[in-house]
């Protein structure tokens, strides 16, 4: 993922609610926002969860259904292979990168077969050894999300990748918290920096907080990849809508990230920028005549002062000027010259 630009992934996920029409509209919103990738989720529900798997509390709350199992919920949110192919064609027409996360082995193979060279490992699969091995065998570039993880979980996953031949420089690790929405006090953004220093990889952040402040802060701290859920309407029924951005918010986040990206891209040397050089003479001051001074008089604390503009002798030369003889007449406020 080495790139001079922060990569922004708009996570449509399952916010299409199983509707291809909604998925197309999500692509349109991602294009309008100016993101780099629009990402969906590829899975077969019966290969992802057992019949007995319960929904998370946030899933129950957001779907307003306590009776449906996680399997029942996910079956309604599947995209068929035909849906994927139509989405890819639509993304190509709209000139945006299609991306998806696979949640089972067959889906991993499918994403490879349709030409994806980059894969994202979701947080829930970081301890799935067969899955990790297949990722490493099929893909050269990996984004690893780390919600619910310890450093040891991350280390073990990276060991699997590198043993199977994935180059470390082709791994990007995303700090993440898998609660929807993530409470601000649980973000622990310093962990992203700890991950980067520990594993010497590119770092990023997958965000589940409300609003856009935290991913912007992550970029300021050095994130090279940002992933954020978005939706057509956060009041729609479904597991992830409530913790997602609406299109206007996604657009605002992208603009803010691009601005922050420019703001932190300087040389690091403290020196006047090209844009502010013209203001030096206006904002700074010079030594000027406090009162009228006649030729031959001695410059003193009584007849000199400091005022704008800054196009004359700098006040930092005050001690060099005081005590000198005026070689010409000066009116009040005239710039002093020696």
Global pTM value:
0.88
pLDDT over 90 (residue 78): yes
With beta carbons less than 8 A apart as the criterion, state whether 30 and 230 touch.
yes
pLDDT reported for residue 82? 96
Q: Mean pLDDT over residues 302-322, rounded?
A: 98
* Per-residue model confidence as pLDDT tens digits over 234-248: 999 888 899 999 999
d(CA 158, CA 223): 19
Q: Mean pLDDT over residues 174-179, rounded?
A: 97
pLDDT over 90 (residue 52): no
pLDDT reported for residue 68? 76
pLDDT reported for residue 1? 55
pLDDT over 60 (residue 2): no
* Per-residue model confidence as pLDDT tens digits over 86-99: 999 999 999 999 99
SS (H, E, C) the chain: CCCCCCEEEEEEECCCCCCHHHHHHHHHHHHHHCCCEEEEEECCHHHHCCCCCCCCHHHHHHHCCCCCCHHHHHHCCCCCHHHHHHHHHHHHHHCCEEEEEECCHHHHHHHHHCCCCEEEECHHHCCCHHHHHHHHHHCCEEEEECCCCCHHHHHHHHHHHHHCCCCHHHEEEEEECCCCCCCHHHCCCHHHHHHHHHHCCEEEEEECCCCCHHHHHHHHHCCCEEEEEECCCCCCCCCCHHHCECHHHHHHHHHHHHHHHHHCCCCCCCCCCCCCHHHHHHHCCEEEECCCECCCCECCCCCEEEECCCCCCCHHHHHHHCCCECCCCECCCCECCC
| Paired sense of beta strands 141-145 and 171-176, if any | parallel
With beta carbons less than 8 A apart as the criterion, state whether 244 and 62 touch.
no
Q: Which residues, 6 or more positions from 245, have their beta carbon under 8 angstroms from its beta carbon?
A: 212, 228, 229, 230, 231, 234, 253
Q: Count how many residues are written for the chain.
A: 338
User: Domains of the chain, with CATH numbers?
Assistant: 7-263 (3.20.20.70), 272-338 (3.90.1210.10)
* Rg from Cα positions in the chain: 29
Task: Give backbone dihedrals phi and psi of 304, rounded to 5 degrees, phi first.
Answer: -120, 150
pLDDT reported for residue 62? 66
């Amino acid at each position: 993922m080495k790139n001079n630009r922060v990569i922004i992934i708009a996570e449509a996920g399952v916010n299409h609610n199983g509707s291809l029409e909604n998925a197309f509209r999500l692509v349109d919103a991602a294009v309008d926002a100016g993101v780099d990738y629009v990402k969906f989720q590829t899975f077969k529900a019966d290969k992802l969860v057992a019949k007995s798997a319960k929904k998370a509390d946030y899933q129950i709350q957001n779907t307003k259904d306590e009776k449906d199992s996680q399997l029942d919920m996910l079956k309604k949110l599947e995209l068929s292979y035909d849906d994927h192919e139509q989405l890819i064609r639509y993304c190509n027409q709209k000139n945006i990168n299609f991306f998806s996360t696979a949640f089972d082995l067959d889906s991993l193979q499918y994403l490879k077969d349709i030409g994806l060279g980059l894969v994202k490992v979701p947080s829930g699969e970081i301890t799935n050894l067969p899955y990790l091995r297949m990722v490493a065998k099929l893909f050269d570039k990996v984004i690893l999300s780390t919600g619910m993880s310890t450093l040891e979980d991350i280390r073990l996953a990276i060991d699997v990748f590198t043993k199977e031949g994935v180059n470390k420089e082709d791994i990007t690790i995303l700090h993440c918290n898998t609660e929807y929405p993530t409470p601000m006090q649980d973000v622990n953004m310093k962990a992203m920096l700890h991950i980067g220093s520990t594993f010497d990889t590119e770092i990023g952040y997958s965000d589940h907080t409300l609003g856009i402040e935290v991913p912007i802060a992550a970029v300021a701290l050095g994130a090279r990849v940002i992933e954020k859920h978005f939706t057509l309407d956060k009041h729609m029924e479904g597991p992830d809508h409530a913790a997602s951005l609406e299109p206007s918010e996604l657009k605002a986040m992208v603009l803010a990230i691009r601005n922050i990206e420019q703001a932190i891209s300087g040389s690091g040397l403290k020196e006047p920028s090209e844009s502010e050089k013209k203001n030096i003479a206006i904002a700074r001051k010079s030594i000027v005549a406090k009162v009228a001074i006649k030729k031959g008089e001695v410059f003193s604390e009584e007849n000199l002062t400091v005022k704008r503009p800054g196009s004359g002798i700098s006040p930092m030369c005050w001690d060099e000027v005081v005590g000198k003889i005026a070689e010409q007449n000066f009116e009040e406020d005239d710039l002093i010259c020696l």
